[in-house]
Chain A
Amino acid sequence: MVERALPLDETLHEISVDVGRVPLRFPARVPWAIAMVLSLMLVGLFLVSITYLFARGVGVWGLNIPVNWAFAIHLYVWWLGLGHAGTLISAMLLLMGQDWRNSLNRFAEAMTLCAVVCAGIEPIIHLGRPWFFYWMFPYPATMGVWPQFRSPLEWDIWAVLTYLTVSLVFWYIGLVPDLATVRDRARRRGWRVFFGIFSLGWRGSALHWDRWRRCYRTVAVIAVPLVVSVHSEVSLLFASGQIPGWHSTIFPPYFVLGAAFSGFAMVAMIAIVMRHTFQLGDLVTERHLDVLAKVLLASGLMTAYGYVFEVWDGLYSGNVHEIATIHDRFFGIYAWSFWGAVFFNFVPLQALWLRSVRRNTVLLFLIATSVVVGMWMERYMILTTSLYKDFLPSSFGIYHASFWDWSTYIGMIGVFFTPFLLFVRYIPSISIFEDKEVLAREHEESGNG
């Protein structure tokens, strides 16, 4: 028999209740409070770190010449990568009519937003003079100097801004009908006003639904190429330089796939945690995890291809510097980051060939975690191993992450989780109406057959 996205014994009302109760009568207060306190502490650490950073200068990080880009930039890529899965799940799978997405897309998109915010902060705090970041925008300055639109960094600013905006509105218009649902479930007036305002007075009129659908699909259609373009541009930040290990045409697809890969891993982790914490087992079913795991495996294999090709690319070029860089990645002092990336990304991943593993939440969670770690190492490797020895031996230099590198990064994790926790607490974290739609269709099918 065909596998269903949702169990038939679920009713439309139960869906509203299941999901609606999360904001209205929050089930997991204690774990949430603990998580919130922790992530607020991290935010505190972040604030301390950047205060010190702004007071002293970027020298507080371990940066130097030649390695004048490290944590801030590699984390910028990493965060953005994590974010992409959200958009891909919502948009691409919507267009492909994958019902199973409906239980995941909402918080996947929320995760995207949080991740993109983190990604957006990184390049700004890494500036030597962060208070002048706005010089990257074309405003009529006194000296009449304009931004330089040939610079990949300039491209990235626009890409990230566009991506942030699109993710936000896409997430929001998807949310409006559910906000209305919660508004109508809410008993306390405060809640009614709160959700009433943010649901814009949505009534579920057929005419509105019609327009909404067209609009939502249009945005979805545009969001998919957007994701691809955004991370391609991120990769151009490196590929446009002539530094060995960067200067390669494979970078755009290599980066986009890696991004999707790490993103899906992040989604899997969060899905499992939420499913467990909020007893959403009926909505985020084993099938969801199973499909997610398959996607993870697929994107992982494509990323692995990227690795292989990158090495082959370098060797085939016959360029002594390219080959030297590959040699350094294999055996140099940062080899741990290369081999670490290879191991964490691909070795545990292979277990996902087994259905039993794909459906085992604990194992899947661990594998997803290892992928996120692996991608972290990959981004680090791509930056450091290329920069610390580029062309001229007299310029070679070693990079050590300083205490403040780490504290800024760890603090940033809090910046990621705090808004996300607020989201799960106050906003329906699973798409109510879309699940109802699916359920209704399934009832139909079961009725007919």
Chain B
Amino acid sequence: MVEKPLGILAEFDNQDRLLDAAKAARNEGYRSLDAFTPFPVEGMSEVLRIRDHRIGWLSVIGGFAGFFGMLLIQLYVNADFPLDVGGRPILAWPAFFVVDFEIMVLGAVLTPIIGMFYLDGLPQLYHPLFSTPRFSLASDDRFFLYIDASDPKFDKESTRAFLRSLEPATIEDVIE
């Protein structure tokens, strides 16, 4: 018996063909689409309607957290053990903002990165795609369009036929 594939992978030899194929698939009504490419392809996000602004917001949040967190720490340690240092005021705002800035930067950098990997579900060392023979070329010079089986319009045969109409280099089922 042959079990149901997770999805179908169509290989193209440059990004323009892939973009056209993606557009076509979209027009055909497919929604659970994905593309695998050696580098981020211009316009692909638009075609696949990918709009994820959370990264930016994570950075803003992290920045604020860093800034106020560090500021609070500095205010606390100086209030907790007040000492006359060179006749300077206990709360020396200008001085505190220096370290503040650094920690703000730290927060604004680390949160989006951690967030990104979290949203990507990475690290994930194994993925069924890796077992499809030609998928390794996705990191070299080949461009893949992927239609997931979860797509309501997905049907093993018709989808395969549709993809073939796009004249890809190869078509493969992605098997569990």
A-side residues, CB < 8 A to B, are 11-13, 16, 138, 144-150, 154-155, 158-159, 161-162, 165-166, 169-170, 173, 177, 180-181, 183-185, 196-197, 200-215, 218-219, 222-223, 225-226, 229-230, 233, 236, 432-434, 436-437, 440-441, 443-444
Bound CA span A169–B79, Å: 35
A440 to B101, Cβ gap below 8 A?
no
B92 to A218, Cβ gap below 8 A?
no
Q: A146-B77, A200-B123 are in contact. Are A214 and B56 (CB under 8 A)?
A: yes
Which B-chain residue is minimally distant from A17 (CB atoms)?
A: B140
B139 to A181, Cβ gap below 8 A?
yes
A175 to chain B, nearest CB (A): 13
Which residues of chain B from 57 to 75 have a CB within 8 Å of any chain A CB? Answer: 59, 73-74
Contact of B139 among A11, A150, A161, A184 (CB under 8 A): A184
B96 part of interface (Cβ distance < 8 Å): yes
Q: Which of B36, B42, B99, B108 counts the most chain A CB atoms within 10 A?
A: B99
B23 to chain A, nearest CB (A): 13
Contact of B99 among A145, A158, A197, A436 (CB under 8 A): A158
B-side residues, CB < 8 A to A, are 14-16, 34-42, 44-45, 48, 50, 52-53, 55-56, 59, 73-74, 77-78, 80-81, 85-86, 88, 92, 95-96, 98-99, 101-103, 105-106, 108-110, 112-113, 115-117, 119-120, 122-127, 129-130, 136-141
A80 to chain B, nearest CB (A): 14
Q: A150-B85, A204-B36 are in contact. Are A218 and B56 (CB under 8 A)?
A: yes
The interface residues of chain B lying within 8 Å CB-to-CB of A441 are: 42
B102 to A200, Cβ gap below 8 A?
no
Closest 7 CB pairs of A and B: A146-B77, A12-B141, A200-B123, A184-B136, A209-B40, A206-B35, A433-B39
The interface residues of chain B lying within 8 Å CB-to-CB of A162 are: 102-103, 105-106
**25 contacting pairs across A/B (C-beta < 8 A):** A13-B140, A138-B73, A146-B80, A149-B95, A165-B106, A169-B113, A173-B116, A183-B139, A184-B139, A185-B140, A200-B125, A201-B125, A203-B129, A204-B139, A212-B40, A214-B53, A215-B55, A215-B113, A215-B116, A218-B56, A219-B109, A219-B112, A225-B105, A433-B40, A436-B141
Bound CA span A87–B161, Å: 49
Bound CA span A16–B141, Å: 8
The interface residues of chain B lying within 8 Å CB-to-CB of A213 are: 40
Which A-chain residue is minimally distant from B50 (CB atoms)?
A: A210
Bound CA span A146–B108, Å: 26
Bound CA span A434–B40, Å: 9
Q: A166-B105, A229-B102 are in contact. Are A215 and B112 (CB under 8 A)?
A: yes
Which A-chain residue is minimally distant from B95 (CB atoms)?
A: A150
The interface residues of chain A lying within 8 Å CB-to-CB of B34 are: 205-207
User: Total A-B pairs in contact (CB under 8 Å)?
Assistant: 190
The interface residues of chain A lying within 8 Å CB-to-CB of B40 are: 206, 209-210, 212-213, 433, 437
A150 to B73, Cβ gap below 8 A?
no
The interface residues of chain A lying within 8 Å CB-to-CB of B15 are: 440
B44 to A209, Cβ gap below 8 A?
yes
A91 to chain B, nearest CB (A): 11
The interface residues of chain B lying within 8 Å CB-to-CB of A148 are: 85
The interface residues of chain A lying within 8 Å CB-to-CB of B140 are: 12-13, 16, 181, 184-185
Bound CA span A197–B124, Å: 9
Contact of B50 among A159, A166, A206 (CB under 8 A): A206
- Say whether chain A's binding surface is mostly helix, strand, loop, or mixed: helix
Bound CA span A162–B120, Å: 25
Bound CA span A166–B16, Å: 35
The interface residues of chain B lying within 8 Å CB-to-CB of A204 are: 36-39, 138-139
Can you add 18 more A-B contacts, CB < 8 Å, to A16-B38, A210-B40?
A12-B140, A149-B96, A158-B99, A158-B103, A162-B102, A184-B139, A201-B123, A201-B126, A203-B129, A204-B37, A206-B37, A207-B50, A209-B37, A211-B116, A222-B59, A226-B105, A434-B39, A436-B141
B141 to A206, Cβ gap below 8 A?
no
Q: A173-B113, A201-B124, A214-B52 are in contact. Are A181 and B102 (CB under 8 A)?
A: no
A205 to B35, Cβ gap below 8 A?
yes
A149 to chain B, nearest CB (A): 5
The interface residues of chain B lying within 8 Å CB-to-CB of A207 are: 34, 48, 50, 52, 120
The interface residues of chain A lying within 8 Å CB-to-CB of B126 are: 201
Q: A166-B106, A185-B140, A229-B102 are in contact. Are A433 and B96 (CB under 8 A)?
A: no
Q: Which of B14, B38, B101 counts the most chain A CB atoms within 10 A?
A: B38
A203 to B116, Cβ gap below 8 A?
no
The interface residues of chain A lying within 8 Å CB-to-CB of B99 are: 149, 154-155, 158
Bound CA span A204–B34, Å: 10
B116 to A212, Cβ gap below 8 A?
yes
The interface residues of chain B lying within 8 Å CB-to-CB of A437 are: 39-40
Bound CA span A214–B53, Å: 8
